[in-house]
Structure 1
Amino acid sequence: MTLWNEFEHDEGSKIADMISTASLIIALRVKVTTFNILSFTTRYSFGILISPPLPDDLSFKQWFTLNKEEIQNLLNAKTYSDANCLLPPPNEEDIKAISTFQASFPIQKAAWVQGTVKLAYGFTKYWTTACVNCYKIVNADIDWIIHCPSCKQQSEVELRC
């Protein structure tokens, strides 16, 4: 989890102090992005709840206790930065034709769609330059070493399609 600005100091210090206790963190009104492989970004009027009071019938602690070893293995393997683990390729039977997906859209909100990409006429730039660490677009030559404005890391620049 990366927190910026005032969240780094306020919520970040609370989370750092209690990380060994495996406290529950609930993020409200966030969306998934591809920043730094896969992450969350906040929306207007979002919230972060750290160890909120929960009814006894919710068994998060029990789930964590049962899965603690597997969670530790995933953290040790750094699966949070492995795109194939976070978003594995679909099974062949899960890939939909566009016509099939459109018919099922009122029921199914997400699907793997197979098709052919065609660029609009006159579009000539097929690539951009990006930070090697976070993949954010940067205006730099590929032989440069930069200090990325997004991830704040020293980075090489690579071509991305």
Structure 2
Amino acid sequence: MARKFFKRYMPDPEKIKSNKSLRFMGTWLHDPNLFHLNRRSASLAFFIGLFVAFLPIPSQMIVAAALAILVRCNLPISVLLVWITNPVTMPAIFYGAYKVGAIILQVPTQDFAFELSLEWLIEEIAKVWQPLLLGSVICGVISGTIGYVVVRATWRFHVITRWKNRKHR
């Protein structure tokens, strides 16, 4: 099932551990749980990756990696899932999160005309940061929870199905 699929595309842990640019991490990358694929590790990695993907912050991959190391779940999956918010999907995702935050805070949504300048960016962020941040956290928690539950349920369903098939054979 998923284990075989993910293992096929997962990077080699030894390559990651021996990477010169990651030496500053020391022995933290030597934890076997960071590369282990089981139901707990994969579902937590999905939660972290999806949650961080909705946060409107730079360096989402670093945040996802730090959380995966802290929680000791699958590092490659959590970092990979952050790429759900890429330059193509980012405007739609963050606009949706902004709308959710504006609805919860009962703030009217701001209309704006795009202008490519630092002053415009600072002015607009000052207007929308509260609904954007609240909506991003709420959407991140909801999507992370959905991802967590779906991975756990799918993994369990697959295991039960394989047990039944083995029993019938």
**TM-score of Structure 1 vs Structure 2, range by shorter chain:** under 0.3
Bigger Rg, which one: 1
Normalization by structure 1: what TM-score? 0.25
Please identify which structure carries the higher helix content: 2
Higher relative contact order structure (alpha carbons within 8 Å, sequence separation ≥ 6) = 2
